[in-house]
Structure 1
Amino acid sequence: MNSFWENVFVDTAAVYSVVILCTFVFLAVFELVTKYKNWEEIKKGNLAVAMATGGKIFGIANIFRFSIEHNDALLTSIAWGTVGFILLLLGYFIFEFLTPSIRVDEEIGKGNKAVGLISMIISIGLSFVIGASII
């Protein structure tokens, strides 16, 4: 049975499945902390929300990429991915806090593409910094 779990295809399927599940959970958390409904706004064609959400998805995936690359155990990768997500979420709150003249959530919800783009770039950029610090 050990050879089954050591098979590269089984390992890849397990990692893939867990990362997809974690991504859904993490996106649900982002949905809770934003004032707009991501998927409803995307369905309406709100490009700002799509860019911000895309940046979050990329950020989560990139953090997991670093986590998987640096850890052999799946549970350790999940733990580091979760820590990375929390830091990414913290970065989102810091962005909101450091721009008091712009209500980031409201602007993205209203379709402000410039704020959506900056939010996307922040998520992507932070994911590289967070990922690089994962051991």
Structure 2
Amino acid sequence: MEAFWSHPLVESAGYYSVVVLCMILFLAVFELVTKYNNWEEIKKGNMAVAMATGGKIFGIANIFTSSIDQHDTLLAMIGWGVFGYVLLLIAYFMFEFLTPRFNVDTEIGNGNKAVGFISMIISVGLSFVVGASIM
């Protein structure tokens, strides 16, 4: 049975499954911390929300890419992926805090594509930094 679990196809399917579950969980957390309903806004065509959410999805996936690459156990990969996600979440709150002239959530919810784009770039850019620091 050990040979089955260590087969590259089984390992790949395991990592993939765990990352998809983590992504669903992490996106649900983002849904809770934003003032708008991500999926309802995307359904209505709100491009700012789509960009911000897409950046979060890319950021989470990028962090887990590095986590998978740097760790050879599923538990270590999950631990570092969760840690990276927490850093990404902190970055989101910092973006809101560092823009006192306007409310990021309100602007994105209202369809401000410039704010949505910057939010996307922050998520994507910092995911590379987090990914590079995962050991």
TM bucket, shorter chain = over 0.9
| Equivalent AA in structure 2 for residue 104 of structure 1 | V
Aligned-residue RMSD, C-alpha: 0.3
Once residues 9 and 70 of structure 2 are traced to their aligned partners in structure 1, the CA distance between those partners, rounded to angstroms, is 19
Residue 36 of structure 1 aligns with which residue?
A: 36
1:85-124 counterparts in 2 under 5 A? Answer: 85-124=85-124
1:132 to 2:125 alignment: no
Distance 2:23 2:75 in 1: 15
Aligned to 1:82: 82
Unaligned runs of 5+ in 2: none
Residue in 1 that maps onto 2:58: 58
Q: Following the alignment from structure 2 to structure 1, what is the Cα–Cα distance between the partners of residues 126 and 90?
A: 10
Identical aligned residues as a percent: 70
Gapped regions of structure 1 (runs ≥ 5): none
Structure 1 position 22 matched with structure 2 position 22: yes
* CA deviation map 1:18-65 (0-9, x unaligned): 000000000000000000000000000000000000000000000000
Runs of 4+ in 1 over 4 A off after TM superposition: none
Q: CA deviation at 1:85?
A: 0.3
TM-superposition CA deviations, 1:66-106 (whole Å, max 9, x none): 00000000110000000000000000000000000020000
Instruction: Report the 3-state secondary structure (helix = DSSP H, G, I; strand = E; otherwise coil) of the residue aligned with 1:53.
Output: helix
**Residue aligning to 2:3:** 3
Q: Distance in 1 between matches of 2:75 and 2:41?
A: 34
Aligned residues: 135
> 1: CA distance between counterparts of 2:2 and 2:115?
50
For the residue of structure 1 that corresponds to 2:90, the secondary structure is: helix
Distance 1:41 1:11 in 2: 36
Give TM-score, length-normalised by structure 2.
0.99
2:102 aligned partner, one-letter code: I
CA–CA distance in 1 between the matches of 2:37 and 2:126? Answer: 23
Instruction: Tell me which amino acid in the other structure corresponds to 2:84.
Output: G
CA distance in 1, matches of 2:45, 2:99: 25
SS of the equivalent of 2:101 reads coil
